[in-house]
Structure 1
Amino acid sequence: MRRVEMIAQGPLTRQVTGRLAVDTKGPGFSEITAEVAGFVREAGMRHGLLTVFCRHTSASLTIQENADPDVRTDLMTALDRLAPRDAPYVHGIEGPDDMPAHIRTLLTDAALTIPLVDGALALGTWQGIYLIEHRDRPHRREIVLSLVGG
C-alpha cells in the first residue's frame, strides 16, 4: 500500500512538503515515479526543485532506467558483490543483512534533487525514481517530499 499525504504548504514561500509511504517486498527496487509525479501535480507548481528524501539508513533512493528490468537485476548483483551479507562485519545487532544494508545506502543515496519544469519532473525518457530496499524482509519506508518553487 502506498499513500501520498500533503502535510504543509506555505502561502508565501511556495514550498510544499509531503510524505510517501512505501511497502517493500524485501531486497530490490520499488518504483515510486508515479507517486512522486502525483505529489507534484497536486502541488500545482510549474517550476522549482523537488527533494526526495528517504528517512532510513538501510534503504535508499536512486534514479535509474525504467525500461529494462535487467538493469535493476544487474544493479542488485553489483551491490551484492560490493557489500556481501557474509562478510565479517563488526556491527551485527540487527542481523546479518543490516551492515551490508548500511554500506549499500552509503553507495547509493538518501536524497535526490529533481528539477521541476513546466509542471513536470525533468526526468529523461528512460529515467524512473526508485526506493531500494537493502534488508532481507519487507519494510514500510517513509519518503519525505519537499517542493520549492512557483
Structure 2
Amino acid sequence: MWYQQTLTLGPKSRGFHLVTDEVLGQIRGLSGVKVGLLHLLLQHTSASLTLNENCDPTVRYDMEQYFLNAVPDNASYEHDYEGPDDMPSHIKS
C-alpha cells in the first residue's frame, strides 16, 4: 500500500529551518502507520532539504555561516538577471 499527498510549507526567510513538525502535522493518517518511508520533493530550484541532528541549534548556525562564506552574495555571478540573490540561491541548493 502506498499513499501520496502534496504538502505546502509556509514561507521562510533565507536560512536553515526545522520543518519536521510542519511536515508531520500535514500528513493525514500518520498515526496509523507502523513502518513507512517518506519521500519529499521540493518543487523549487533554489531550495533544498538537509538532514541533521537537532540536539544542538548551533548546527544550523554553523551550516548557515559555512554557506554564507562559501557562496557570498556579492560575488560576480554571470547569471544575475533574476536578481542578485538568484545565483547564490541556486548554488546553495
Per the normalisation by structure 2, the TM-score is 0.83
Quote the Cα distance in structure 1 between the aligned partners of 2:47 and 2:9.
Answer: 11
Distance of aligned partners of 1:26 and 1:36 in 2 relative to their CA distance in 1, 3 Å threshold: closer
Structure 1 runs of 4+ aligned residues shifted over 4 Å read: none
Q: Tell me: CA distance 1:73–1:17, structure 2 relative to 1, closer, same or farther (3 Å).
A: same
Q: Could you say which residue in structure 2 is the equivalent of 1:36?
A: 23
CA distance in 2, matches of 1:58, 1:96: 13
CA apart distance, 1:25:
3.4
Structure 1 residue 36: Cα displacement: 2.9
Q: What is the aligned-residue RMSD (CA, Å)?
A: 1.7
Contact 2:9–2:23 (Cα < 8 Å) also in 1? no
Q: For structure 2, which runs of at least 5 residues remain unmatched after alignment?
A: none
Q: Deviations over 1:94-133 (max 9, x none)?
A: 111110100011xxxxxxxxxxxxxxxxxxxxxxxxxxxx
Between the two structures, name the one with larger relative contact order (CA 8 Å, sep ≥ 6): 1
Structure 2 counterparts to residues 1-150 of structure 1, below 5 A: 14-38=1-25, 39=27, 42-43=29-30, 44-105=32-93
1:61-90 deviation line (CA, Å, top 9, x unaligned):
111122222111110010112211111111
Which consecutive unaligned segments of at least 5 residues does structure 1 have?
1-13, 106-150
1:109 counterpart residue number: none
**Mapped partners of 1:27, 1:46: distance in 2:** 35
Does the 8 A contact of 1:24 with 1:30 survive in 2? Answer: no
Identity of aligned residues (%): 44
